Amino acid sequence: MMRGVWGHNAVGWVIAASLLPVITGMVLVQGIDAVLRLGLCGGVILAWQVVFRHRLGVPMTPTGAVTAVALALLAPAEAPLWQIVLAVSFGVVIGELIFGGWGRGFLSAGIVSLAFLSLSLPAASFDAVGLFLAIAVAPAALILLMFGIVALPVLLASCAGFALVMWGAAPEIDLLATSGGLAFALLYLVADPVASAVTPLGRWIYGGLAGALTGLLLASAASATQSVVFATLLASIFAPLIDQGIIMAQTRLRKI
């Protein structure tokens, strides 16, 4: 039997490689600060991966880079470094490694880390990441869609859900100023293949839920990053339930 190409490692490396334009954009916008934070988060994640690999045989994965970039990009500038280290550790260990590594859990480590950080520092202002980064995310989105790692229905449904709520609630927000963070979160956190629903219809529901919740939270005057983080956290928690419901309905239909 021949081995296919879309194994755990191959998918992980494609995701990591797709981050390159995003990292370039981030460094161009935020300068040396971004490099430092990225290095710190990456180091902490690598350390935890080595510990779990060594003690429990949990496979290491290059997708830790997504978590590192998410933190470096979206964490508030005034957050002390030890808080970031704590948040990354919590996210990577509780969100991913204790389940057996990337692919066995049901949440994305980046989302758990950012949620932790945002609960720890409720008053901090999460930076808005602007249009330049949204442009940098576009090639990454193309790569991930072309390789079939990100599901198009999730992206479309979340955009649709978000747009619908925005149109209904019409909050006064400068969407352009936050588009970079939103685009990054949509591609890497909402559409994370591991954290999203897996049935075809479930993907639409999941994406719509995440997008609509983001819009609702944004309308209730939360920051863009916080909105998308908590919306995705909630949607990811519901994703297995959505799948289960759809499978049950389909099984019943098939029997008739």
Partner 1 sequence: MFHSFGHGLNISLRGAPEQQVSPCNNVGSVALYGADYPGVRPEVLVAEGDMIQCGEPVFRDRHRPEICMTAPVSGQIDKIEIGARRRLTSVVIKSDGAQPLVFARPDSLTRDSLQALMLETGLWPALTERPFGKIPDPGSAPDALFVTAMQTEPLSADARIVLAQAPEAFAQGIAALKCLTDGAVFVCQGRGDDLADVDDQVQIERFSGPHPAGLPGTHIDRLFPLKQGRVVWQIDYQTVLALGVVLATGSLPETQVIALAGPGVAKPRLIRAPAGVRLDDLLAGELTAGQKSVLSGSVLSGRQSAFLRRKHWQVSVIDRAQPKPTRVRSWLPIHSAAERPRPVIPTQALARALGPKLPVVPLFRALSVGDVETAEKLGARGLLEEDLALASYAAGGDVDLGALLRRALDVIEAQA
Crossing angle of helices 20-30/8-18, nearest 10°?
30
Residue from the set 7, 123, 167, 170 that interacts with partner 1 by CB under 8 A: 7
Q: For partner 1, give the closer residue by CB, 146 or 221.
A: 146
**Residue 194 interacts with partner 1 (CB under 8 A): yes or no:** yes
Structure tokens at 2: 């021949």
Q: For partner 1, give the closer residue by CB, 3 or 170.
A: 3
**How far, in Å, CA of 248 to CA of 235, rounded?**
19
CB 48 within 8 A of CB 92: yes
Q: For partner 1, give the closer residue by CB, 198 or 219.
A: 198
Type of residue found at 177? A
**Residue window 90-129: x/- pattern of binding to partner 1, with contact defined by CB under 8 A:** ----------xxxxx-------------------------
**Residue 8 interacts with partner 1 (CB under 8 A): yes or no:** yes
**Residue 151 interacts with partner 1 (CB under 8 A): yes or no:** yes
**Residue 11 interacts with partner 1 (CB under 8 A): yes or no:** yes
**Residue 193 interacts with partner 1 (CB under 8 A): yes or no:** yes
Instruction: Tell me whether residue 229 is exposed, middle or buried, using C-beta atoms within 10 angstroms of its C-beta: 0 to 12, 13 to 18, 19 or more.
Output: buried
**How far, in Å, CA of 121 to CA of 109, rounded?**
18
- Name the minimum Å distance from CB 159 to partner 1: 18
Q: What is the DSSP string of 95-144?
A: HTGGGTSTTTSSS-HHHHHHHHHHHH-TTSPPPP--HHHHHHHHHHHHHH
**Residue 245 interacts with partner 1 (CB under 8 A): yes or no:** no
- Name the minimum Å distance from CB 2 to partner 1: 4
Contact residues for partner 1 (CB under 8 A)? 1-12, 50, 53-59, 100-104, 147-149, 151, 193-194, 198-200, 243, 246-247, 250-251, 254-255
